[in-house]
């Protein structure tokens, strides 16, 4: 599983709920977050690098938890990979189309996600009768990352500022199209009221992954608890608190690793050496599965 930072741990949280026995390796590109304000070309390059890094750990499947990556990079990168890669767009679109019937859906996300219109197209491909309105909410990510509590006045102000015009339209469902937004489920639910369904991509992705693993006969035997090992490209002291907030469980240890250049180092013995200044990379080659990640 990978994300631009630690927000993707909200998807990991849902994966662990639905698939408690799987071994999860998480890569958070904390040195280069946010992706949501970057160009498509840059997000694609980062995605290729991270997938190159993860492929070395021989995953059965890769999950792009980052909604921005799923929206702007996966259509191009998916066909280059030797293993299946699951993004959040299609599972979330299917879920929201199911709950919204034939009515109005509001999609919230980063600037890049909204500009791509990926969620809008995916929802309307499933049901052209659904009307979709979109709204980028760029301040939500830094507010969540700052660790503000859900009833914080600034969070309520940002919600009002971005979403008043959407609320007036009376949506039937709101798609939380960003890794960080499930943390704001409480205040968003209060704001829209009980008649509006808030759809969180994490659960939709977890259910789809479960289906795909079963179909490909890749399910892990249910004889040992699942594991979670976290790799990050930068390790600031506040990450442990932030990680716990997103994952819903304490994350005591992050392994530092860098993804830059991994897309170009395919099959090169050079990557088995300890590259100067990148201690995390050689750590991973020694024995990734034995490291205590969580």
The distance of closest approach from Cβ of residue 110 to ligand DGL in the complex, given in angstroms and rounded to an integer, is 4
Stretch that binds ligand DGL, among 2-10, 14-22, 119-127, 244-252 (CB under 6 A): 2-10
Stretch that binds ligand DGL, among 15-23, 29-37, 126-134, 184-192 (CB under 6 A): 29-37
Give the number of C-alpha atoms closer than 13 A to the C-alpha of residue 177, restricted to the C-beta side. 39
Two tokens, residue 67: 């909604």
The distance of closest approach from Cβ of residue 270 to ligand DGL in the complex, given in angstroms and rounded to an integer, is 30
What is residue 62's three-state secondary structure? strand
Stretch that binds ligand DGL, among 92-100, 176-184, 202-210, 273-281 (CB under 6 A): 176-184
Comparing CB distances to ligand DGL, the nearer of 47 and 258 is: 47
Are the C-beta atoms of residues 183 and 244 closer than 8 Å to each other?
no
* Residue of 28, 36, 171, 202 interacting with ligand DGL (CB under 6 A): 36
Two tokens, residue 80: 């280059």
CA nearest 109: which of 69, 76, 169? 69
- Should residue 33 be labelled a site residue for ligand DGL when binding is judged by CB under 6 A? yes
* Residue of 30, 47, 68, 116 interacting with ligand DGL (CB under 6 A): 68
Comparing CB distances to ligand DGL, the nearer of 88 and 294 is: 88
Tell me which of 51, 137, 178, 230 is the catalytic residue: 178
- Should residue 200 be labelled a site residue for ligand DGL when binding is judged by CB under 6 A? no
User: Is 178 part of the annotated catalytic residue set?
Assistant: yes
The single-letter DSSP state of residue 183 is: G
Q: Where are the alpha helices (DSSP H) in the chain?
A: 9-18, 40-55, 67-72, 74-77, 89-100, 111-116, 118-126, 140-145, 153-169, 185-192, 201-215, 239-247, 279-286
The distance of closest approach from Cβ of residue 112 to ligand DGL in the complex, given in angstroms and rounded to an integer, is 7
Tell me which of 66, 137, 230, 235 is the catalytic residue: 66
Site for ligand DGL in 132-151 (CB under 6 A): 141
- Should residue 260 be labelled a site residue for ligand DGL when binding is judged by CB under 6 A? no
CA angle 113, 66, 277 (to 5 degrees): 120
Give the number of C-alpha atoms closer than 13 A to the C-alpha of residue 294, restricted to the C-beta side. 21
CA nearest 284: which of 24, 56, 50? 56
Query: Closest-CB residue for ligand DGL?
Result: 36
Comparing CB distances to ligand DGL, the nearer of 48 and 271 is: 48
* Residue of 30, 113, 134, 233 interacting with ligand DGL (CB under 6 A): 113
The distance of closest approach from Cβ of residue 179 to ligand DGL in the complex, given in angstroms and rounded to an integer, is 4
- What is the residue-wise DSSP string for 224-277? S--EEEEEESS--TTHHHHHHHHHSS-----EE---TTTTT-TT-GGGGS--TT
Q: Which residues here bind ligand DGL, judged by CB under 6 A? A: 3-5, 7, 33-36, 66-68, 110, 113, 141, 178-180
Q: Which residues are catalytic?
A: 66, 178
């Amino acid at each position: 599983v990978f994300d631009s930072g630690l927000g993707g741990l909200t998807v990991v949280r849902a994966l662990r709920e639905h698939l408690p026995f799987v071994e999860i390796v998480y890569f958070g590109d904390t040195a280069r977050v946010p992706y949501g304000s970057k160009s498509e070309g840059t997000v694609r390059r980062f995605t290729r690098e991270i997938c190159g890094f993860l492929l070395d750990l021989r995953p059965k499947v890769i999950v792009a938890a980052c909604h921005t990556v799923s929206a702007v990079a996966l259509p191009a990168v998916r066909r280059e990979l030797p293993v299946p890669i699951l993004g959040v767009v299609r599972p979330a679109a299917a879920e929201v189309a199911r709950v919204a019937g034939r009515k109005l859906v509001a999609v919230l996300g980063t600037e890049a996600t909204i500009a791509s219109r990926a969620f809008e197209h995916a929802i309307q491909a499933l049901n052209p009768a659904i009307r979709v309105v979109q709204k980028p909410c760029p301040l939500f990510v830094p507010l969540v990352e700052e660790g503000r509590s859900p009833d914080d006045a600034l969070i309520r102000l940002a919600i009002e500022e971005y979403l008043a015009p959407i609320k007036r339209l009376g949506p039937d469902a709101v798609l939380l199209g960003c890794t960080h937004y499930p943390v704001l489920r409480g205040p968003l639910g209060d704001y829209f009221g009980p008649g509006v369904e808030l759809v969180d991509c994490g659960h939709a992705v977890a259910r789809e992954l479960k289906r795909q693993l079963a179909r490909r006969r890749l399910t892990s035997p249910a004889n040992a608890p699942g594991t979670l090992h976290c790799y990050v490209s930068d390790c600031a002291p506040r990450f442990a608190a932030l990680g716990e907030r997103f994952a819903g469980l304490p994350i005591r240890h992050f392994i530092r690793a860098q993804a830059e250049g991994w897309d170009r180092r395919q099959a090169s013995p050079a990557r088995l050496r300890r590259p100067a200044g990148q201690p995390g990379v050689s750590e991973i080659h020694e024995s990734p599965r034995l490291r205590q990640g969580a």
